[in-house]
Structure 1
Amino acid sequence: MSEDTVTEWPMAGRNTELDRIEAAVARGHGALLTGEPGVGKSRLLRASLRRAAEKGAEVRLVSGAGICGADVSSLFTGWASGQGGERDAVARHLLDDAFPGRRTPAADGLQGRFVLGLDDAHCLAPAFAARLRAGVAEGRLTLVATVRAGVPAPDGVNRLWVERLVERMEIAELDRSAAADVVHAKLGGHVAAAALERLWSFTQGNALLLTELADSALADGSLRSEDGTWLWDGLNGRPAARLADLVHLRLGHLSPDERRLVQMIALAEPLEAELSAVAELTHAVETLDRRGLITAELSGLRLRLRLAYPLYRPVLVSSLPELTGLRLRRRLADALEDTGLRRDDDVLRMAVLRIDAGQLPCADQLQSAARTALRHLDFALTERLCLLALPLPDADIPTLMLLRGRALQGQGRHAEAETLFAGMSAEKGPTSTAVWAEAVQARSENLAWGLRLVQDAEAVLDEAVTAAPETGRGLLQGTQTVMMLLGDRLEEAAAMGETVLAEPRDPAVVQRVLPPAAFARNELGDAVGALALLQRCRPEPGVWSDEARLSHQLVAACAALQTGAVAVAGAILDGLPADTEDDRPGALWAASVRARLYRSCGRYADGIGLLRQVSAPPDTRDWLTTKAWRLAQMAGALAEAGEHAEAMRVLVEVRSEESGTVRYPLAADGVAMERALVLAHVGDLTGALHDALELGERAAAAGRAFQALTALHLVARIGEARAVVERASALARHLDSGLAALQAEHVRALADADGDALSALAERFEAMGLLPLAAEASAQACRAHRAAGRHRRSRATRTECQELLQRFGGTLPVWAALDKQGSEPSAELTGREREVAALAASGLSNQDVADRLGVSVRTVENHLHRAYGKLGVTTRADLAQRLDSRLSADGFGNLPAPAPGRTRRVQDAGPAQPRADRPGLVAAGRHSGRVGVGEA
């Protein structure tokens, strides 16, 4: 059976794979596509056959499953009698005596070539597979076939790739961006980032599951279009019958132990392998893992089991018989309690299992579970757990009320949350100081972020700080610092950091104040000061909360990036805890900061993937990142990667997110910067200039010097450097940042059209790891040199730019794009010049090169002279560096064979060194000629 049952979905997201298959077919090799069920091998096969047919090939498609039981002789008999249809027509081509002597044409193109598409080649009978291998080996046909990973294939099929008769290609599941392309192609219009992430998360990019899930959501109306945007909130209720049938079909036949194990994993995923309920099913664990139905992952010292695809979970749970479900839930809850409930997640899973099994945990367990659910941003579950715990006699009512209020706030029920928080903050008698302070903090945040009453929130805080005892006052200072950020009072927020460090304080106070205070200092442009502030009080394990330690590290990474210390920022981010769940606020922060790092290095795809991953959780509305800001970052990264249409669509979603939240100036201007960047990349330079100039003025007025300089830097990059050069220089003088200094110098060099300065800046950007900026500066240097008539320097910087682009796999932005190389014919080396240059760069003397090529030394010197001029180099060392990437890219890696009678080999010759006392000459070993290197 073909794995692709949804034929109406357009082919998308697989251009790279299709291009590889097409290239293999063009070379006459063919391809063997292997991958897990449902990844889309069959669709790739059909699409590749369509491409081959469009290029003139004769193509046929057959299923290995359909002929695996047939005998070759019977197929031939059917053909001879004129029966058997298309399948026998394919067999005609495969049988030796049907087309004796047929060969695949060697000429370019596919005209007259026979290309066979064979689906499910692992199902072929051994005799047929052997005959197929012989046909491919003798050049009778070009084969494109699919094989299911992990399934034994006949020897003839395996020999195809072992003997390199076909190219074996692993077809992986769709990544997030490719899945987005597939969904966009089907639905049209804009699909909300959160909807795309939910679809991918349920299916992990399995093409068949993705299309079936989307079709099911379209059918039940949950995947819907509102105001031109497709939205999907996830699976609600029982999955549709077709979707459930597909999942059960993929699970296949399960033994009783295997079925019990997958049911338990579905109920309590991830499930520890050492649990008593699982340990007794060890054989089932191994067989399910071998079949790819479950996955095993190490978390610390724990081996945790998950279903292969999250979509399996709701299907298995919904199909579970009621009594079986009760029994398994109680068995798992008992097993978790037997482990001692060592992790917060253990308590949450145990509590949910008990409740769903009709048992009520104690109040302490419910409270602990509610706190964990809140950290996972599962607000509905948090409220449910609190409501169950509140009536119990031993319940901690103030804490449960506080947790419930946070859950109401997370669900957008801000008026209800205000009523609850106001009542708690008004009564200090029966409530501990710490809980009362948290209630005041929660109320002020709800007023500011939820109800958009920032002044009321500040008044509540001021009144509480005045009336609070010392302990409570200190706890509220962290919230005051955040409110200062929200009000764009960055200098006051930065001063709070010095205040709490000036005298001994409760660590709980320091950890709440220090990260936002350092963040404020960083945004004021004092990144070095922010790092110094953080260094004065490092997080203490066991004293600082996980959230505080994470925010401390992330602010340090932000500050390191702002100084240009990309490697330092990367090291900080690599040191973050590895077990942070994707749906926690800390993971949202980490993804936002790490995406900035990836983008600065040119790793756009990685940045986009991270930002897609954190687009589904609700907006936490905190000081380090907001959902609108993360979406805007995604739009900027998409634009940088050349995905301009989707970048513009995401900007529409950003506006919608911003309209429903309080204005956070720092985040709003971060969004504005990304919007200007997107406009510039799509070619709207006028709109980009307007927005960037406006942002620069606004940020400078608020004291956010680095943000202002970054905006002016964009203005200069897209063509108006002279208008902003003095302002950029003035801003940079007040910033203690290596990156800020480079940005200001870049603006100055662009204003002066100084090619040498731009080349030097490119090297410094490259040294920092900022490859996109380095490539852009090289391109700008190329244009500046060409305008000044320095054509050799122009060609050299063009080459440098191309090498930088190859290093990170990017392209130049539209405003820095260079003319095609063909516009300067002299810059292209001829074939002979390439040969001479390659041999000279390898260390051979001019005489040796002449002997190898059978030409005179003077001819070699002339060719070298022209090559030096075209490449813009003056020494053989530079020549080797320039040619290294060009030769490998253009296929000149193989040097000419030595001339007859010559035995000296390239590796025997040491590299020739230029004469330091005469830089205008090239020392080329014995009989070297003088090569002029003056400016062209």
Structure 2
Amino acid sequence: MTTLRREAKTLELPWRFTGREDELELIRRSLTAGHHGIVVTGPAGCGKTRLVTEAVRGSDRARAAGTPETRHLSFAAFAHLLPERVSLHRAVQLLSGVRLLVVDDAHLLDDASAALVHQLAVHGRTRLIVVAADVGPCPGAISRLWTGELLPRLVLEPLPGEETEQLLAAGVGGSLEPLTLNRLRHLSRGDLRLLRDLVDALRERGLLTCRAETDTWAWRGPVPVTATIREHAAQVLEGPREARETLERLAFAEPLPLPMGDLDLRLLEDLESDGLIRIDDHGTVRLTHPLHGPVLRAAAGRLRAARLARTPDRWEAALAAESAALTGRIEQADVRPLPTPVGEWLAQEGAAVPAGYAAVRARFSRLRGELREAAAWAREGLRGAPHDARCRCELALAAAQSGDTATAQEAIDGHPDLDEPSAWLAAARGDTEGALAAIGDAMDGMVQRYGNEAGAPGVGAHGAGEGAGSVTEAEPACADAVFALYDLVRLGAPGKAAELLPADSVFALHANALAREDGAALDRAAEALEERGFLLFAAEAHAQAARAHRDPRAARTSRTRAVALARRCQGARTPALSGLVLGELTARQRQIVTLAAAGLSNRQIAEQLTLSIRTVGNHLYSAYARLGASDRGALPWLVELPEVQPA
């Protein structure tokens, strides 16, 4: 096992700036002729200062910043730019000659400094970039910059998931395993400073290990509570003793909540007003910030921890309830997000995840289009039960629908009865006829296992495919049979599936629209699928609509929606999505990616297109990021599906 470690005293350079391309361009445009600047606001730690620093890199500028300690001192933020005693009028005159002034942490400015910034905006001779966090009250002179329409305001949202993943990969030096990625994003809640401090703590303690089977970095076990991490949770560590005891009880109860009746109502009111706890509609109480629980548990003494800790039997029933809830949602064809704190906590802490739960969790994720996450859950189950057929089935399905035929084949080796993964493995290899035949085998197997109520009686090994035999008109009652029939629709062969699927289901809606080659109806089916959480299915339906539309504008709209949804599906590469992916790239990137997929080296591409080798490499790097590829070995799948192989 490889461990990523660095010395605690190593001086780390800032992480490479990642994403925020639109926001970067907006700030840069605000500094061009005819513009007077911009105000950038957003949650603490979301990267406002780093974004502005990148936008003004190389520019001649002056900088000022507010601090909590100097809010009572006049012009404290501008002490390095102004004489010791100065009036507001004189300060405006002195700074009007500055071409660009960056004001950071403007929400912490003293009143005189805030008034100075406002007057500079009114005069319009100095371009201003004003950065303020959305925490607590902001000086009126600052808020009136945008409410009074003196400057435009850019509200910076937390970094999107895809860009956060790229940022972490750059900071760690490799891709993160999906459950680790989700955990870091959950703990940091969009605070990039906290995110970096967490990664630094993991590296200092050597807690990131390389998973050989996926070549990704993973973290299991408790949160490393370093001095820096403690600073982020100072609010819960420094409160009154009574409040601290209540917070500790909640911390040691995790991942389960506590009933409100078990706690002091007066203390709960104070903690809720401080934003430290949240109470749900069922009257149960949890800590608000996911970092606070680990920090409180680490700060408690050994005896207190032994007294407050819960035993495993306390969460076993909750884990079974989570599994039942996930299964129920799948049977109801509704896979919208569902909280699963107990299962996630087990995996995060490095405890054994029961294979049955892991398989259900993997299936739920796969149906949502979260293919890498589905594979990760399947692997969690296989760690304790390496031969579990359910987890192997989910791993194979997630891998095959991602175009990873090697992993899919390895997962089903020795399990010839896994027909559904075999179907998608055939589809990934371009053998559509073989895929359809395997789905027929899967239907036969369901009938043998569950009886005729599990599938349509008389469905033979070839009855599932169009023109491959006869199918009776009975409707499948089993969720497995419904999804097996729906696989035919996804593979472009609706045929009798449209008749056999439950008539009022969203899957039948999709099947009927595809059978009629009705682009508008396919788009409506895609919207219904997306509403129920089936993002990959929705992407495929939009992709099929793009091919069915006769109006080029409608086809372009469907294709754009398909690409947008497919990008949220963690590297999905299914037949329906074939040919869509390259549309995400610029014309030059498409040209270079196509040549790289054909096997040309960077040097050969550079010579053919009369470019520098470095330019080719930069284009490929950008293309990899957009396509979700790690190297050029994945490009052939992204460019075009492999040729159909004989069955």
The TM-score normalised by the length of structure 2 is: 0.62
**AA aligned opposite 1:675:** V
Distance of aligned partners of 1:340 and 1:233 in 2 relative to their CA distance in 1, 3 Å threshold: closer
Partner of residue 70, structure 1: 73
Paired residues of 2:252 and 2:293 also in contact (CA < 8 A) = no
How many Å apart are 1:614 and its aligned residue? 2.7
CA 1:323–1:407: 2 relative to 1, 3 Å: farther
The residue matched to 2:15 in structure 1 has which SS? coil
| C-alpha distance after superposition, 1:634-683 (max 9, x if no partner) | 5543457979533357486487569xxxxxxxxxxxx65x416xxxxxxx
| 2:173 pairs with 1:173 | no
Please name the residue that 1:761 is paired with: none
Structure 1's 342 and 71: CA in aligned 2 closer, same or farther, altered over 3 A? same
The answer to whether the 8 Å contact 1:22/1:51 transfers is no
SS in 1 for 2:88: coil
In structure 2, the partner of 1:874 is: none
Determine whether 1:155 maps to 2:140. yes
Aligned partners of 1:370 and 1:385 also within 8 Å? no
CA RMSD across the alignment: 6.3
**Aligned residue for 1:613?**
568
| Greater share of residues in helix | 1
Corresponding position: 1:88 with 2:80: yes
Output the CA distance in 2 between the equivalents of 1:597 and 1:267. 43
For residues 239-250 of structure 1, what are the structure 2 equivalents within 5 Å? 239-242=223-226, 244-245=229-230, 247-248=232-233
Q: Which aligned pairs between 1:276-355 and structure 2 lie closer than 5 A?
A: 276=259, 322-323=305-306, 326-327=309-310
Q: CA deviation at 1:247?
A: 4.7
> Could you tell me which of 14, 18, 26 is aligned with 1:8?
14
1:236 aligned residue: 220
Secondary structure class of the residue paired with 1:130: helix
For 2:542 and 2:279, the matched residues in 1 are separated by 27
Code of the aligned partner of 2:568: Q
**Alignment-derived partner of residue 639 in structure 2:** 675
Secondary structure in 2 aligned to 1:164?
coil
- TM superposition shift of 1:121: 1.7
Partner residue in 2 for 1:574: 527
**1:425 aligns to what?**
none
Identity of counterpart residues, as a percentage? 17
Take 2:484 and 2:412, find their aligned partners in 1: how far apart are those partners?
A: 25
SS of aligned partner of 1:39: coil
Correspondence for 2:467? 495
Q: Does 1:539 align with 2:502?
A: yes
Cα distance change, pair 153–469 in 1 and its aligned pair in 2 (3 A): closer
In the alignment, which residue of structure 2 is the partner of 1:256? 244
Select the residue among 34, 45, 48 that pairs with 1:41. Answer: 48
Structure 1: where are the runs of 5+ without partners?
76-83, 105-111, 388-399, 423-438, 485-490, 524-529, 542-548, 581-585, 617-624, 659-670, 677-690, 704-936
Pair 168,638 (structure 1): closer, same or farther in 2 beyond 3 Å: same
Q: Tell me how far 1:552 sits from its aligned partner.
A: 4.5
Closer, same or farther: CA 11–335 of 1 in aligned 2, 3 Å: closer
Match of 2:233, SS?
A: helix
Distance 1:506 1:201, change over 3 A: same
Alignment of 1:762-781 (within 5 A): none
Partner AA of 1:575 in structure 2: A
CA contact (8 A) 2:506 2:529 kept: yes
Aligned residues of 2:65 and 2:109 also touching (Cα < 8 A):
no
The answer on whether the counterparts of 1:12 and 1:178 sit within 8 Å (CA) in structure 2 is yes
Deviation of 1:152 (Å): 0.6
Q: In the TM superposition, what is the alpha-carbon distance from 1:36 to its structure 2 partner?
A: 0.5
CA distance in 2, matches of 1:470, 1:627: 28
Deviation sequence 1:176-222 (CA, Å, 0-9, x none): 4544664677689x968969975885556543344445555666484
Report the AA paired with residue 614 of structure 1: C
327 and 335 in structure 1: CA distance in 2 versus 1, 3 angstrom threshold:
same
- Counterpart residue number, 1:113: 98
Q: Secondary structure at the match of 1:500?
A: coil
Equivalent runs, 1:636-647 vs 2, <5 Å: 636-639=583-586, 645=620, 646-647=622-623
Are positions 1:515 and 2:486 aligned together? yes
Tell me the distance in 1 between the aligned counterparts of 2:339 and 2:171: 42
Distance in 1 separating the partners of 2:293 and 2:526: 32
Contact 1:636 1:675 in 2 (8 A): no
Contact 1:10 1:186 in 2 (8 A): yes
Bigger RCO (CA 8 Å, 6+ sep): 2
Question: Which structure has the bigger radius of gyration?
Answer: 1
* Deviation of the 1:123 alpha carbon: 1.7
**1: distance between equivalents of 2:578 and 2:85?**
54
Q: Residues 308 and 607 (structure 1 numbering): CA distance in 2 closer, same or farther, change over 3 Å? A: farther
What do the CA deviations read for 1:128-148 (whole angstroms, capped 9, x no partner)? Answer: 433443454345744322222
In 1, Cα distance between equivalents of 2:148 and 2:438: 78
What SS class does the counterpart of residue 495 from structure 1 fall into? coil
Within 2, Cα distance between the matches of 1:463 and 1:21? 56
The 5-angstrom pairing of residues 469-868 of structure 1 reads 493-495=465-467, 498-501=470-473, 504=474, 507-508=477-478, 511=482, 514-519=485-490, 522=492, 530=494, 533-539=496-502, 552=508, 555=511, 563-565=518-520, 568-576=521-529, 578=531, 580=533, 587-593=535-541, 600-601=555-556, 610-615=565-570, 626=573, 634=581, 636-639=583-586, 645=620, 646-647=622-623, 650=627, 653=630, 656=633, 674-675=638-639
1:515 alignment partner AA: Y
Per the TM alignment, residue 39 of structure 1 is displaced from its structure 2 partner at its CA by: 0.7
Q: Distance in 1 between matches of 2:85 and 2:501?
A: 74
Q: In 2, are the aligned partners of 1:114 and 1:141 still within 8 Å (CA)?
A: yes
* Structure 1 position 304, deviation (Å): 10
* 1:33-73 superposed Cα distances (whole Å, 9 cap, x missing partner): 211111112223434454541xxxx523333445323245x
* Alignment partners' CA distance in 2, 1:609 and 1:246: 39
Secondary structure, aligned partner of 2:529: coil
What is the CA–CA distance in structure 1 between the aligned matches of 2:578 and 2:439, rounded to whole Å? 32
More off after superposition, 288-297 vs 203-212: 288-297
Q: Is the 8 A contact 1:122 1:148 kept in 2?
A: yes
CA shift at 1:124, angstroms? 2.2
Code of the residue aligned with 2:639 in structure 1: it is: R
Structure 2, unmatched stretches of 5+, are 1-10, 329-337, 365-373, 400-406, 547-553, 591-618
Distance in 2, matches of 1:233 and 1:575, equals 36
Which residue is 2:360 aligned to? Answer: 372
User: Which residue type is aligned with residue 40 of structure 1?
Assistant: G
Q: Is 1:19 aligned to 2:25, yes or no?
A: yes
Secondary structure of the structure 2 residue equivalent to 1:61: strand
- Hey, what's the Cα distance between the residues in 2 that align with 1:416 and 1:183? 29
- Distance in 1, matches of 2:122 and 2:182, equals 46
Distance 2:628 2:342 in 1: 42
Change in CA separation of 1:347 and 1:289 when aligned onto 2, cut-off 3 Å: closer
CA contact (8 A) 1:29 1:167 kept: no
Q: Give secondary structure in 1 for the equivalent of 2:309.
A: helix
**Which of 192, 195, 219 is matched with 1:207 structurally?**
192
Check whether the contact 1:348–1:369 (CA below 8 A) recurs between aligned residues. Answer: no
CA distance in 2: counterparts of 1:417 and 1:99, whole angstroms: 74
Residues 14 and 225 (structure 1 numbering): CA distance in 2 closer, same or farther, change over 3 Å? farther
- The structure-2 alpha-carbon separation of the partners of 1:350 and 1:173, relative to structure 1 and needing over 3 Å to count, comes to closer
Q: Distance in 2 between matches of 1:417 and 1:702?
A: 20
Partner of 1:842 in structure 2?
none
